[in-house]
Structures are given as C-alpha cells and as structure tokens.
C-alpha cells in the first residue's frame, strides 16, 4: 500500500513510549483471567495422580462429595464422554489436522499452531502416564471447600514400574521421530570427509536438564455457559488455539466458543496453547450449571502444562588450521512423554549459523513417564546454542584463536542450509558493537590468568540467533468522529508491550499522536491473529495493524478528494500528506482538513477498514533470522567454586525497533533467564516415583536481583521489510539464546574447567 507524504516522520515508532496499559497494571485495573467478577461462580480444583505409571482401579469420592460446599466430583468413571477428545499415544494422528507436515521447519508458524493439538488428559480413561497427571476435578462453592474436598479423594492404583531413567530407556525407532514440520536427519556435503580433512577437531557431549516455566500468573480458566455458547476467560498466549481446541473437544463449532485474554501474566511458551484445564473447566461448568473458575496450583505447573525437556547433544566440529570449518555434526537426544512425541529442535541453528560445506544434524527421542514437554522461551535455540557455542569456544582454544575471530572467519554470507540470501543480517556489526563496549580487546586468553582480588575472572562470548517469522493476521480500524482511531486485533498481551507497540504503529501510519489511538486485543471475536509464540507478534500483528492503518488513511484520502465540500476535493492522492490528524495538500498547504471534520461531514459514522495481512513471496525468497552477540564477565571463587555474573554485554539485530524501552526490557529479561539457565534452573524428579521434587518457587531456583549484575544491551537497527511491512523481526526470544554458552565459556576462561552439563553447580566445578 502507498505511504502518503508526511511533513516529517512522527516521533512515534522506536521511541521509548511508556506502556499505555501501565497505569492499569500498577493500579490493579488490569484484569487477568482469574480476576473477572462473575456472579454465582463455583471453584474447581484438579486432583492429580501420585504415581507415574499404572491404572486407576477405583476412586472413593464419598468423603469429598459429602464435604461442605461440594457440588460435583468428576473422575474418569463418571466424567462425560467428549466427542472430540484426542487419544493419547506416540506420534498421534492429530498432526495432519494442524498442518505440521507443511511447516517450513521444526518451529515454523504451522508447527506452532499445532500446539492447539496438545494431547491433554481429559478424564476419558483410567490410565496414568506421569506423576501429577489430572485424574479428577472437585467443584465447590468456594476455593477453600474445593481444595479441602480434593484432599479427601482416595485413589487405588494398579502400579506399574515407570521409565524415569533416560539412560536406560530405549530410543524411539528412527521412523517414529517426527520433529514438528521437519526431518529427523538433515545433511549436506560429506561430513565424514570434512572431519578427515580437518586439521583440528573437537567432539563433546553437552547436557541440558528438565526445566519448567514459572510465570508469576499460574494457568487459570473461568468458564461460563450461555445455552450452547461458552465464554472462557483464559490465561493464554493463544486465544484462537484455545477456542478451536476446546470447541473440538466438546463437539462445538468454533463460533460457539469465545476466549478472552486481555492480560496474561507471563507464559514463556507454557501458555502457547491449550492443556487439560480449559476443557475440564468448561465440562465442570456445564455439569454444575454455573460458572466455574479453575486455577492451577504452583505444583501443578510441573507436569500438566509442559516444560523444557532434557537434552543430550553431541557436537563434533572440524576445522583447518586457519579456523575455517570443514564439518559440523550435531546429534541431539531429548526426552518426551508417553502421551505424544515432542522433539526439542536443538539443532536448527547449527544448520544455518556458520559457513560450513559439510553439516549433519539428527534428532532422537527417549520416551519416559513425565509430562509432555512444550515450547519454553526460545525452544531449541536456547538449548542448542549452549551446545554449539560451547563447542565453538572449545575449537577456538584448540586453534589458539580468539573466539570472536573464529566466528567471524566462519561468517555465512548466505544461508548455508538453503542457499538463500538473508533478508537482512548485521551479525558482524553486533560482534563489533558488543566487543567494544565489553572491552574484549583487553582479555588475556589464558585460562586462570585474570583475577580481581581473590576472584578468578573469566570472559566468554557466544553468538545469538533466532528465526524471524510472520504468520497471517487480521486487524480492523475505525476513524471516529472525534478524530480518534480505534484499532482491534485478536492477539495477546503477555507482558511484551503489545498494547503499546501496536498503538505506536497505528499512530505513525495514520499521522496522529499515540494518545489519539485506542488499540484493543485479547478476544476471539476480533480479527484472528497467531499465538504469541515464536516471536511472531511484532511481525505478524504489527504488519496487520500497519496495513489496516494505511488502508484507513487511504480510504480517508479518497473520501476527501471525492467530496465536493472538502478543501481537498479534486486533488491527487500523491498531493496529500498527513500531519497531526489532518490531511493537507503539498501544493497548497492552505487546503487542509482534519480527520474529525471529514468524518463528521460524512454522516458522523466511523470510517472502517478491515485487513488480513499475509507473508508475501519474500518468505520463500529469503532466509529470515535475527542475530546477536553476547559477552559475559564472570567471577569464580577458587576455594568455594561460587560463580557470579557481574556483567553481560549484548548487541542484537532484530529489524526495526518498535519501542526502545520495551525492546530493551525483552532483551534484559532474556539475559536474566539465560543466567538462570546457566547457573540455577533444573527440575528434579524422584527416580522411584516420578514425583517432581522441587515444584515450588522455594526450591526451583530462578535468578533474583542479587544474582544479576549490569546488563548492557544495544541494538544494531536494520529495518527488514522482507520480514514484515513494519520492518520488525521480533525480539521476545533471541535474548536468551547464547547467554548460557557465553557464561559457560567465561567459567572455563576463569577456571580452566570445562562444564558441559547445565546448570553449572558448585560440585561440577569442584570435581
């Protein structure tokens, strides 16, 4: 669409505008899923299994049913049969219905939509597949009554021996390993020859543990029926996928289900699609004939709603004496559940990040009795960059070469996997920017050579990357009689600042102040948008908002030049500019008219436009990724092996920056998570019972303020119109990639001890 002339670009996009929803959040006015006041609401509590494998022989609910305030106790023995309930089991048949096989890669947009097909446990059979599996629902008049009654349910199991030790579990047969939208094995060139020709090789295995999401807001659903229509207030990153899945489970058409999520208190992947609790809440509400609120406990965040799987990644690199890579082999093995296949796509970045003629990647799965894994911030790339970038650091030491120089020598001018040109790439500038601000030139390359008093000092670095993707998205825009714009899109606000950035996009496209734009999101009765996963919102919803605002402006211009009463009557489109809510002729600035006057004269009804924005041919012609560089400064106590991270410096090229403040916050959040991934996060499971041992915020360690030093982040801004019409790539997930590797590499530099298994605990440095 045409960009109409403006006197000067409004100081809107890119500016650090305060969050437009900030006041609502700090004053308590923002309503999250569990906070909507619904009359006569009942409360539901999920009962979970206490074994990891077996069958439920019986459930004695008599005491619970007789407890105060109890309205209903649902179990596999009395729950209604659901016409669209999926059948749990490996390589399930639901993939075809979601377009997984048409996805461009293991984490492509279609694959992400496949989260809507996540296999939940919906009380449809008596099989127990992991410890913590939902096996019942207690509904009562208050939460306290429901919780008390849930403790009165007595379950008798036929216990079977679970598979929990992944080292003893057989690999899935190769033909049963189906990465979402990808292939199990991908190869180019001749890796064996590349390794034999190499002057230097490294070959090591890197391990990342089970991890779990711990957003401040736990998963919550409030279900309300009106006849055959269902309203769900839901804590989610994907209102459309929740609507579609719940409707399918219940045998309803999608138009009978409306999902609302105006604010989501963090998700990081776990809320990327529906699980059991949404459908169970809807079933419970229908059974008791009144609205039902179901809020998971913190412990129930471990198992029933996914997490990051354990990975074991063997990386083999070969290089010439000059540091040119001759071969890369990256084999990743990860855990999944017995319910369905889930492959952590840890090798994706390996195929495209460095210029190497011979490359082979492969996925394998180990099926154990745990909850099904899912997307967790930068799924695949966060775990995969730890392995690849640690191996690159080891190669640099073998070559006695600076780690930055090694990466620069293997910089890929085009995508080595596809051969396509990059839509944009400023990785070399990121290296230079971050290295200069970090002071990398002052690094002594010898391990244990740098000290700060009694502390050993280590400096390490790594490359960051994440795919830049865009999915179809819709938006509607109205120009109101008072000159304000009203824009809606069915996306989600998960803490990234979407309300604000979309307001800025619309304001700039219309040539009005952000204060004159009202942007709304979070309901499935708005134009459909993709789930807020995979960093797609800025490129997808951003393009839709930009395109609909431009289309609205074009419609207003056409209205003016065709209106005999308008001062702009008879002008040409290219002679019209927008300026502070008005249309003005470039050739005669005296001829001007405000949006408000134009709408008022044309019947006072809002002027409305609806647009569906889709990726164009560029998506097939270019390889689209974001890039960055991460430099970490660590201190290690030589006696106690305590690790501190006083400083992290980053530079990222993520396309156009929509809001400098919220974009910086996203990178800072990713770096903090990377520190936690490197040093703290690990989900522990009892090897006998399969019970999640540290399923609370006291024992599942995440960084706190005292753990975080200075985070100096900068952007190498390079708008990318191939990715999106607004030039943005998305910034939500790249911030974590490379951070764990940079810290691990810094720890080696400080101590001379290479830790290849996360988290880097004290005992792993002492042994």
Q: Return the active site residues.
A: 733
Which residues of 98-208 form beta strands (DSSP E)?
127-128, 134-140, 154-159, 185-188, 200-208
Instruction: Please name which of 605, 604, 598, 608 lies closest in space to residue 565, comparing C-alpha atoms.
Output: 598
Spatial separation of the C-alpha atoms in residues 336 and 363, rounded to whole Å: 12
Spatial separation of the C-alpha atoms in residues 3 and 338, rounded to whole Å: 53
Sign of the torsion formed by the C-alpha atoms of 279, 283, 286 and 290: negative
Q: What is the CA radius of gyration of the chain?
A: 27
> At a CB cut-off of 8 Å and minimum separation 6, what does 703 contact?
672, 673, 675, 676, 679, 680
CB 77 within 8 A of CB 57: no
Instruction: Please name which of 302, 303, 260 lies closest in space to residue 278, comparing C-alpha atoms.
Output: 260
Q: Tell me the residue length of the chain.
A: 767
Angle at 657 between CA 656 and CA 662, to 5 degrees: 160
Buried-exposed string 169-185: b where 16+ CB fall within 10 A, e elsewhere: eeebeeeebbbbbbebe
Spatial separation of the C-alpha atoms in residues 633 and 619, rounded to whole Å: 38
The two tokens of residue 639 are 């006696």
The two tokens of residue 454 are 């009694």
User: How do the residues of the chain divide into helix, strand and coil, expressed in percent and rounded to 5?
Assistant: 30, 25, 45
Task: Calculate the dihedral angle through the C-alpha atoms of 24, 27, 29, 30, rounding to the nearest 10 degrees.
Answer: 60
Strand 229-234 versus strand 257-260 pairing type: parallel
Spatial separation of the C-alpha atoms in residues 114 and 116, rounded to whole Å: 5
CB 762 within 8 A of CB 751: no
Type and span of the H or E element at 488 = strand 485-488
The two tokens of residue 425 are 């790439």
Instruction: Please name which of 112, 117, 82 lies closest in space to residue 97, comparing C-alpha atoms.
Output: 117
Block residue for tokens 């289900």: 257
Task: Calculate the dihedral angle through the C-alpha atoms of 706, 702, 272, 163, rounding to the nearest 10 degrees.
Answer: 170
Spatial separation of the C-alpha atoms in residues 368 and 338, rounded to whole Å: 6
Which residues of 18-110 form beta strands (DSSP E)?
42-48, 54-60, 70-74
The neighbour count for residue 280, using CB atoms within 10 Å, is 26
Instruction: Please name which of 459, 395, 452, 515 lies closest in space to residue 649, comparing C-alpha atoms.
Output: 459
Block residue for tokens 């030589």: 638
């Amino acid at each position: 669409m045409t960009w109409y002339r403006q006197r000067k670009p409004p100081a809107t996009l890119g500016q650090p505008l305060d969050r437009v929803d900030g006041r609502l959040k700090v004053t308590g006015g923002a309503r999250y899923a569990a906070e909507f006041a619904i009359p006569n609401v009942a409360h539901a509590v999920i009962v979970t299994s206490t074994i990891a494998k077996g069958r439920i022989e019986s459930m004695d609910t008599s005491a619970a049913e007789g407890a105060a305030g109890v309205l209903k106790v649902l179990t596999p023995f009395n729950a209604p049969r659901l016409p669209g309930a999926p059948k749990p089991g490996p390589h399930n048949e639901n993939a075809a219905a979601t377009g997984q096989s048409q996805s461009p890669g293991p984490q492509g947009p279609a694959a992400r939509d496949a989260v809507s097909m996540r296999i939940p446990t919906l009380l449809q059979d008596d099989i127990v597949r992991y410890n913590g599996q939902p096996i019942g629902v207690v509904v009562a008049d208050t939460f306290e009554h429901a919780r008390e009654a849930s403790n009165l349910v007595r379950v008798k199991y036929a216990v079977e021996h679970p598979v929990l030790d992944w080292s003893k579990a057989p690999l899935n047969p190769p033909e049963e390993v189906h990465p979402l939208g990808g292939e199990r094995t991908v190869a180019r060139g001749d890796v064996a020859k590349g390794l034999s020709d190499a002057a230097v090789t490294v070959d090591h295995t890197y391990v990342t543990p089970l991890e779990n999401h711990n957003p401040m807001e736990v998963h919550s659903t409030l279900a309300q029926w009106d006849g055959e229509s269902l309203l769900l207030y839901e804590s989610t990153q994907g209102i459309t996928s929740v609507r579609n899945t719940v409707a399918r489970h219940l045998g309803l058409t999608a138009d009978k289900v409306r999902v609302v999520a105006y604010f989501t208190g963090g998700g990081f992947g776990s809320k990327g699609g529906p699980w059991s609790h949404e459908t169970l809440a809807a079933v419970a509400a229908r059974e008791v004939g009144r609205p039902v609120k179901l809020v998971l406990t913190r412990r129930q965040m471990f198992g029933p709603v996914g997490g990051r799987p354990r990975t074991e990644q063997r990386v083999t690199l070969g290089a010439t004496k000059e540091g040119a890579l001759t071969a890369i082999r990256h084999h990743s093995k990860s855990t999944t559940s017995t319910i369905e296949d889930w492959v952590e796509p840890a090798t994706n970045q390996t195929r495209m990040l460095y210029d190497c003629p011979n490359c082979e990647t492969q996925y394998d799965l180990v099926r154990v009795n745990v909850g099904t894994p899912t997307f967790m911030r930068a799924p695949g790339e966060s775990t995969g960059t730890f392995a690849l970038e640690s191996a690159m650091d080891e190669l640099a030491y073998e070559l006695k070469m600076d780690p930055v120089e090694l990466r620069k020598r293997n910089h890929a001018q085009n995508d080595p996997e596809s051969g396509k040109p990059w839509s944009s790439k400023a990785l070399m500038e990121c290296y230079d920017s971050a290295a200069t601000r970090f002071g990398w030139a002052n690094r002594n390359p010898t391990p244990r050579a740098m000290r700060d008093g009694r502390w050993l000092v280590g400096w390490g670095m790594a490359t960051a990357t994440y795919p830049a993707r865009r999915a179809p998205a819709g938006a509607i825009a109205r120009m109101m009689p008072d000159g304000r714009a009203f824009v809606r899109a069915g996306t989600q606000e998960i803490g990234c600042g979407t309300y604000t950035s979309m307001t800025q996009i619309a304001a700039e496209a219309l040539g009005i102040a952000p204060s004159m734009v009202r942007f709304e999101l979070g309901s499935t009765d708005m134009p459909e948008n993709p789930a807020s996963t995979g960093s797609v919102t800025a490129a997808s919803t951003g393009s839709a908002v930009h395109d609909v605002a431009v289309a609205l402006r074009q419609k207003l211009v056409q209205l003016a030049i065709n209106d005999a009463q308008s001062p702009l009557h008879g002008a040409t489109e290219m002679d019209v500019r927008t300026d502070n809510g008005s249309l003005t002729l470039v050739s005669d600035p005296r001829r001007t008219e405000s949006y408000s006057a134009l709408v008022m004269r044309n019947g006072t009804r809002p002027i409305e436009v609806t647009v569906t924005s889709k990726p164009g041919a560029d998506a097939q012609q270019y390889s689209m990724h974001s890039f960055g560089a991460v430099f970490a400064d660590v201190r290690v106590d030589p006696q106690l092996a305590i690790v501190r991270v006083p400083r992290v410096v980053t530079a990222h090229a993520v396309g156009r920056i929509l809001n400098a403040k919220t974009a910086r916050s996203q990178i800072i959040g990713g770096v903090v998570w990377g520190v936690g991934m490197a040093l703290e996060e690990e989900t522990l499971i009892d090897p006998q019972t399969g019970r999640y041992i540290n399923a609370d915020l006291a024992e599942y360690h995440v960084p706190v303020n005292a753990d975080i030093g200075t985070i100096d982040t900068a952007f190498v801004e390079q708008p990318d119109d191939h990715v999106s019409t607004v030039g943005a790539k998305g910034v939500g997930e790249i911030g974590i990639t490379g951070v764990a590797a940079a810290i691990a590499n810094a720890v080696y530099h400080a101590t001379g001890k290479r830790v290849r298994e996360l988290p880097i605990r004290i005992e792993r440095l002492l042994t």
